[in-house]
Structure 1
């Protein structure tokens, strides 16, 4: 009973796979490009005919998308952050497999293609939805660790009461923006817990919920 991780080559997806491998949970990475951190299946998320056989899987994790860049056109961002995720979720859910979607908490003024895509994916999800804000930690490029911990102090500041007060005063400006960044290890652990728990139930976990996940 393997866990299939779509987007396993990404920052978050690779962290989830590493957590599964370290814990001895069978897993398969799925993306356009293979990696050597786990067994792999090369597939195009937009083309279900390329998916691996997921019947009987323990869980399917969906961790795909593009950054919220203002110069990327609307349709491209919406498809990358929405349609690709929706197709995987629907394929897994049709098989009765539990799903874990890594989505996003974002401000109202995020680029509309990015925002609409993330909302499309969340609406399609029937399992656990993780909604971190900015994510920091160690990214790996060709096996080389690249530390990205500069957001850790920002996370501490955004947990102060003043951040919540500002959101109340100007929600259109600050809501979804002044939320604490989360370490990639916490996102990976939250996804791992959702994949292996015996007491699985649908849930939406925001940044504060993810930060509270036990190591």
Structure 2
């Protein structure tokens, strides 16, 4: 009968809807699981205080998931990863450095109020006894007189109320003092900035040094591990 046919059609529609709802729920659950896993990888809460072998490529990818909503509207991310050996580090702290530098680059691009998206390029490679991560942007760049202070606590180039001036200082402490690595900042005004993070493959026990140098139109600040001295030039 017509009534029976109509009831059968309604059941078919309901079954189709239920299957679609199940598919959506499964997809949502998988997405949440991925986000939670990336958050765990970022913070490494299971070994937050420990030094262990860690692949920085994995750390950068986890950090990008955490930072995605903050950077996706104003920047495109280009990744040029090489196969690198693991470094002996506190992964949670190292991921915090990646996040600080990425957010600094994204905020610099956003400050320009440009119509097009900016670009942040992330490169990784091994060099000598270090694994290196370069994070560069095509933002406004940093003047030489300010570049020499970027790792100082509470120093910021952002407008009042827009930054604490602690992100790069904390990053310096993590890379240089806690991991005996190097942190360098290069910039050409009007073309952008680059931060170079060098982490030793094997853990070192040395002191730290901060040095500044200017080479042509490109200014560089280096944070390294030799002595407790700090020098600033031009």
Q: Indicate the TM-score class for this superposition, using the shorter chain for normalisation.
A: under 0.3
Q: Which has the higher contact order (CA 8 A, sep 6+)?
A: 1
Q: TM-score, normalised by structure 1?
A: 0.26
Mark the structure with the bigger radius of gyration. Answer: 2
Q: TM-score, normalised by structure 2?
A: 0.24
